Amino acid sequence: MEYPSKAVQKAVESFKSLPGIGNKTAVRLVLHLLKQNSDSLKQFELAVEGLRTEVKYCQTCFNLSDHERCAICSSQNRDQGKICVVQDVRDVLAIESTGQFTGAYHVLGGVISPMEGVGPDDLKIAQLVDRVKNGNVSEIIFALSATMEGDTTIFYISKQLKEYQVQITTIAKGIAIGGELEFVDEITLGRSLLSRIPFDV
Amino acid sequence: MEYPSKAVQKAVESFKSLPGIGNKTAVRLVLHLLKQNSDSLKQFELAVEGLRTEVKYCQTCFNLSDHERCAICSSQNRDQGKICVVQDVRDVLAIESTGQFTGAYHVLGGVISPMEGVGPDDLKIAQLVDRVKNGNVSEIIFALSATMEGDTTIFYISKQLKEYQVQITTIAKGIAIGGELEFVDEITLGRSLLSRIPFDV
């Protein structure tokens, strides 16, 4: 399509490069921005610029951070001895939003996947082993996807951690809260039967 | 939700202010941008900056433009005597993408809508009347939405143009190409029967 303005065209193409945004949505977003006043457009620019210039990765847990060490890793209120191992930054946000975890994190940056050419050296596994080796880590909690790749990654890391005094756990797999039993797939249902837990009255 | 980085939080909030983008999508877009290299992030910034600094509105037709006069209004290949009146810039893009129109445009910036407090003075109606008064305009083609507000706007402008020698037309309303008759609403179907056209063999 021929756009009436080169600047508009450039903006539409930039927005189109974002995931899940096609041509029509990109045009809608750009026209929305054009309707804003100069100040809020400037705010938007600064926010995007901030992503490039201000955001770092925590050198301990590889979570997003404004500093060399993220707020969670440097907090006195978090149990630094419990490390929850996750695939990426989004999982940290998801777990934080539950408000159920008071330990620290370790962001692997992916899972081992020979199909996609991701090996152990592409992930922050050595850094996790170092944390266990150096510090007072009592528990490693794996919160990875319940897939073949996730399980492979847990198995690989667990073997590396075998020689250290550290408890290894994974988050529970079973039926979702509020889920109707008849719609649960049989593998999950079978597994949730095998991993049944005592019910205390 | 507590974000690990203030810069990330600011960016998520900026994206959330866009239409149709909620919290989860905003987080996804921001994390996608963070994965890009510094160069393409800079490109994105420049594209948004361009919207603020480079985009103007054509002083003739009020379409988006990089200059005081847009490419369509200054083109020798377009019939400047035919003016297609549309509600906003998106409609110009839609009509241009059909490739069926070789005239010029006039972007009203909305339609008359007492419910939303939009009166004739909020739109570029006086400027349209001026164009007809000054220039060699032979035809005004209304391409507005087939709503009460669109019809009111057409009626209001037509009355203003009555004293000038100009043909006034509206785009055809009827069943959509490829549309199955049984799914067409009865008002459209009734209207398309009333406005039936001769079929030449």
Go through the domains of chain A in sequence order and give each one's CATH number: 6-40 (1.10.8.420), 64-170 (3.40.1360.10)
Span B144-162, mean pLDDT?
92
Q: Which of B4, B25, B89 lies closest to A70 in CB terms?
A: B4
Beta bridge partners of B113: B118
Span B9-26, mean pLDDT?
93
Percent of chain A with pLDDT over 70: 99
Distance CA B125, CA B132 (A): 11
Binary contact (A11, B48; C-beta < 8 A): yes
Q: What is the pLDDT of residue B153?
A: 95
DSSP label of B3: -
Q: What is the pLDDT of residue A1?
A: 63
Strand, coil or helix: what is B154?
A: helix
Residues 6+ apart with CB under 8 A from B68: B56, B58, B59
How far is the alpha carbon of B56 from chain A, nearest alpha carbon, in Å? 9
Q: Is A153 on the interface with B (CB under 8 A)?
A: no
Least confident piece of the model among A21-35, A115-129, A148-162, A178-192:
A178-192
> What's chain A's average pLDDT?
90
Q: Could you tell me the pLDDT band of residue A151, with boundaries at 50, 70 and 90?
A: very high
Residues of A within 8 A of B59 (CB-CB) are: none
Least confident piece of the model among A80-94, A167-181, B129-143:
A167-181
Span A150-179, mean pLDDT?
90
Torsion of Cα atoms, A16 then A21 then A23 then A25, to 10° = -120
Span B95-117, mean pLDDT?
92
| Residue B185 in tokens | 């609403």
Span B25-51, mean pLDDT?
91
Distance CA B192, CA B174 (A): 5
Give yes or no for residue A2 having a pLDDT over 80.
no
Between A87 and A178, the higher pLDDT residue: A87
Q: What is the pLDDT of residue B1?
A: 63
**pLDDT tens track for A40-92:** 999 999 999 999 998 889 999 999 998 889 989 999 999 999 999 999 888 99
Give yes or no for residue B60 having a pLDDT over 70.
yes
How far is the alpha carbon of A158 from chain B, nearest alpha carbon, in Å? 27
Half-sphere exposure of A58 (CA within 13 A, CB side): 23
The answer to whether ipTM exceeds 0.90 is: no
- Whether the model clears a pTM of 0.80, i.e. scores above it, the answer is no
